[in-house]
Amino acid sequence: MTTAAAYDNRAILKYRISFTAGPDLEGTIERMSGTTVVGSTYYHGRPEPKGKFEGQYRHNKDPERQTVNLLANAVWERLGCNDDQYLAQILAQVTGGSIELHSDKGPCHSCRAILKDFLEHYPMITCVVTYRKTDGRGQQIPNLAPAGGDLCGAYGYEDAVEVNGNWCKVLR
């Protein structure tokens, strides 16, 4: 079950991925909260760990989750994959790359899990996550903000650092 977000969150993922043969895969994916991804989604995030919504997947419409899944779709298509076992056999065709994920709000526990899963599949890819340090009214947002409401966990990374007025975390 997923509920509509009380705010609009936008995520922009810029990527460039290199392969042993053929051109790089590069582009930008932009998503807004509340929309649904059409097609396969390889990474499913984590359910709410406790409380009223324990075990439910409340973050299916989060834009960070969606951008990573859409990128996974593009990589699988580029590699000609048809299942996880085949991916394991041809993964060496991905030789490197980078992704930059910027969102208005830091990624939640579910979206952080999806990023971690993606980077475990593609350890040769570097990921930089940035998110806003101030809200639309100029109020400071901590690097790790409580989820609030009935949701558990927090948004962002405890060890994110300030870079150019945003919070930044390099994942490796």
Query: pLDDT per residue over 141-171, tens digit each?
Result: 999 998 877 777 789 999 999 999 999 999 9
Distance CA 146, CA 160 (A): 15
Among residues 167, 139, 172, 163, the alpha carbon closest in space to that of 154 is found at: 167
Q: What is each CA distance from 130 to 64, 86, 155, 165, 166, in whole angstroms?
A: 11, 33, 12, 10, 6
Work out the percent of the chain whose per-residue pLDDT is above 70. 96
Q: In this predicted structure, what is the pLDDT of residue 164?
A: 94
| Res 25 pLDDT > 90 | yes
- Indicate the DSSP class of residue 55: T
- Average pLDDT on 49-74 reads 84
- Indicate the DSSP class of residue 87: H
| Res 1 pLDDT > 60 | no
- Average pLDDT on 118-138 reads 92
- Average pLDDT on 22-41 reads 87
Please state, rounded to an integer, the average pLDDT across all residues of the chain.
86
Top-confidence residue, 142 or 82: 142
Work out the percent of the chain whose per-residue pLDDT is above 90. 47
Q: In this predicted structure, what is the pLDDT of residue 7?
A: 61
Q: Is residue 31 a contact partner of residue 59, using CB atoms and an 8 Å limit?
A: no
pTM of the model: 0.86
Q: Provide the pLDDT confidence category of residue 26 given band limits of 50, 70 and 90.
A: very high
Distance CA 151, CA 82 (A): 35
| Res 115 pLDDT > 80 | yes
Distance CA 77, CA 128 (A): 24
Stated as kind and residue range, the H or E segment containing 37 is: none
Distance CA 69, CA 151 (A): 22
Q: Is residue 55 a contact partner of residue 65, using CB atoms and an 8 Å limit?
A: no
Give strand pairing partners of 1.
none
